[in-house]
Structure 1
Amino acid sequence: MRLGYFAMPMHPATRPWGETLREDQEAVVLADKLGYHDAFIGEHLTDRQESITNSLLFLATLIPQTTQIKLGTGTTNLSHLHPVLVAAQSAMFDHLANGRFILGVSPGALPSDAEVLGILGEDRNQIFADAIEVITRMWSDEAPYDIDLPGNRFKVTTATTMDLEAGIGAVPKPLQTPRPEIVGTVVAPFSKGVIAMGAKDFHPLSANFLLPQWVATHWPNYVEGRESVSATASADDWRVARSLFVADDEATALRYGKEDADSPYRFYYGKMLAKMRSLGRLELFKTRRDQPDDEITLDYVLDKLVITGTPSSVAEQVLALQEETGEFGELVYAGMDWVDADLGRRSMELMATEVMPEVNAAIAAGPEAAAVSAGA
């Protein structure tokens, strides 16, 4: 099982913007040094807590500061940009990063982002579907292109102006062939979008704020999508994000991960709970569809969604998670604000140097050994 990193990222609005940007950079540089496989960074235009406005621009600053980690948008919100811009800019990034690029995509869910762009009333899921078709065809087709999608939202060609002898009219292609890996974040239980991902050979990343029982519903749909194109799904292509905090002792883990009023995990899930309540999406935190809204308290959410403990305890909980969700290829560590930078760094270090070796040793020993380690 690989170890990855994901950050929305979310910080208190009272912190200086430059300070939080530098902290987010430092976290990815640390992940690179510790051998994390990849790092995904989110973006929003109008959220004071989630203050990275362009993940590709942010990640570009990390190319010279890192050596092996893959840099992924988490996500590029495809309703916000013309898809030709995404295709061309991502291709350049792939060359700058020498192939260490993953394109993470989504429609863009924040209503205030849509409003500021004047698309609040539009079908952003349809824009997303149109955009991803253009991006992948820009990377596979040759100029002058002939992309005219139903509804003609994005008609793409350079037929009138193309002059290949002069080097005019062709959008550059990525370094990776046939294209960079494309990853889609999955939030909804029983998501039908995962079927489409499977059919297109995009790879799912299940969100860290979704209960494990709902995460488990993603894989069967991905398998269905792969089978629809006569392909076989590989669990290596499934990423599962979790909120984890590892400490050298249980008391510190519990305090910083859940109980302390200044816990970054309490801050994160307090904001997420309020956001999902306002969006009418509390079902993400419910164990059953008819569970009353008033049962979804902050302490309830922290108990369900934050894994804390010493390295051995966290390893056991990760193995138990895989027992519940089914096999997946990458555990993605969800980054939080560094209220205590030393504890934040130490947690990432312990995940890489102690938790994952223990998890992978149990997996290598076989299902029965993994089940015993998970406390089954």
Structure 2
Amino acid sequence: MQLKFGAFMAPFHRLGEDPTGALSRDLELVEWLDTLGYDEIWVGEHHSGGWSPISSPELFLANAAARTRQIKLGTGVVSLPYHHPLMVAERIMLLDHLSRGRAMLGVGAGINPADAYMMGIAAGDQRRMMAESLQAVVQLLEGTEPVNCKTDWFELRDAAVQLRPYRRPALDIAVASPGSERGMRLAGRYGVGALTFAGRPGVPDAPLDGLWLATEDEANKYDKTVDRANWRVAICVHVAETREEALNQVRPGMTRWYQEYVRETIGAPAVLTMGCEVDECQEQKTVIIGSVDDVIEGIHHLYEETGGFGTLLINTHDWAAREQVLHSFDLFARYVAPHFTGALSGLQASQQWMATNRADFSAQGREAAKAAPVS
């Protein structure tokens, strides 16, 4: 098992917090992840509800690109029914060049019905529109010929993007899959990556082990190739020195988020007991919260449950205090990630070799000391 690691930033900020300051802290978190060596960050698009103030992930990530050096920057996600596909392709290609090849395009149908309502889009049309747009976007980004197509909501006439990818052959594309096969099958149809939300607190989702099988099944139908290495799985993670500390740090914030956002704002069909949200999610394995050892064990379980994936994304929330969140990402990068990246293999082998032969080396040292001339 060898994994990459990153973060998924909706973001979520409780009402009452200054939005300008919240956005600044979001950018600071991206810088911190870059410093710690995380592989990638995905940033969402939302237009209503009050808790997620980023309406254009491309604008946010362009700012982040100027502040960072190596972390890859993904739209998580651009809601395709809300945009003309040529604009989606042009904006992500511009971000790719501004970031010197670090841009990634995550796409979805749009998860908040209120956003679609404000634009006059029927909720029942979103997935159809998503599929129509994705086909056009993939042709624009990966093809070399002008694209012509017409639907009931967009038209392309000899359309082509002016910029080609900064790094060839193409930039990463991932289709969001919030707990169902629909997005996974679209990823298979076009031979692109998938981004799955592994744990949605209080919401029963389809078993994870069947999701990738749906991707492969669809890929076979369309003569495409897919790879589990391009499957990203997102889940809520928080690390502290002990399990008790970790649980206590997130408990008030998670209760507030669940009651004020999940239940009272979006009215999601989630069922958790007030005040016991963290404990119930731990039992359901829709979060990974605890000590370093707990989190390592949780990632192993998630990997086995899915049958294997390429990148684990940590959902960012304001459940814990700011310094505790930053410390959690630090602990994860220092003590959790190396168990899955192969970074420790050489050090562990060297330590074991020296430990196995320590008696011989000690004897050689003593003999050398005896043989040394007296000055």
Asked if Structure 1 and Structure 2 have the same fold, meaning a TM-score greater than 0.5 normalized by the shorter chain, the answer is: yes
Aligned counterparts of 1:138 and 1:234: Cα–Cα separation in 2: 22
2:238 to 245, 253, 261: 245
Aligned counterparts of 2:198 and 2:21: Cα–Cα separation in 1: 25
Residue aligning to 1:267: 256
Q: Kindly tell me the number of residue pairs found equivalent between the two proteins.
A: 339
1:322 to 296, 303, 306: 303
**1:187-238 residue CA offsets vs partner (Å, 9 max, x unmatched):** 133x133122112112111114346862222111112123334455422111
1:221 to 198, 214, 218: 214
Residue aligning to 1:162: none
1:278 to 267, 289, 301: 267
1:335 to 295, 316, 319: 316
Change (3 A) 1:45 1:312: same
1:55 offset after TM fit, Å?
0.7
Change (3 A) 1:204 1:275: farther
Structure 1 position 21 matched with structure 2 position 46: no
1:170 offset after TM fit, Å?
6.0
1:309 partner letter: G
Alignment check: 8 A CA contact 2:192 2:226 kept: no
**3-state SS in 2 of match to 1:68:** coil
Alignment check: 8 A CA contact 2:190 2:224 kept: no
1:327 partner letter: G
Residue aligning to 2:14: 12
Structure 1 position 204 matched with structure 2 position 194: yes
Change (3 A) 1:322 1:140: closer
Change (3 A) 1:170 1:121: closer
1:26 partner letter: E
Q: Which has the larger radius of gyration?
A: 2
Structure 1 position 42 matched with structure 2 position 21: no
Alignment check: 8 A CA contact 1:9 1:335 kept: yes
Which of structure 1's runs of 4+ aligned residues deviate more than 6 A? 293-297, 362-365
1:172 partner letter: L
Residue aligning to 1:154: 154
1:76 to 75, 78, 84: 78
Change (3 A) 1:231 1:134: closer
**3-state SS in 2 of match to 1:344:** helix
1:239 offset after TM fit, Å?
1.1
1:173 offset after TM fit, Å?
2.9
Structure 1 position 358 matched with structure 2 position 339: yes
Change (3 A) 1:43 1:277: closer
Residue aligning to 1:123: 125
1:178 offset after TM fit, Å?
3.3
2:154 partner letter: F
Change (3 A) 1:362 1:235: farther
The normalised TM-score by structure 1 is 0.81
Change (3 A) 1:96 1:275: farther
1:148 partner letter: C
**1:148-170 residue CA offsets vs partner (Å, 9 max, x unmatched):** 24x453321259xxxxxxxxx86
Structure 2: which 5+ residue stretches go unaligned?
A: 347-375
1:147 partner letter: N
Aligned-residue identity in percent: 26
Aligned counterparts of 2:177 and 2:261: Cα–Cα separation in 1: 16
Change (3 A) 1:266 1:359: farther
Structure 1: which 5+ residue stretches go unaligned?
A: 160-168, 286-292, 366-376
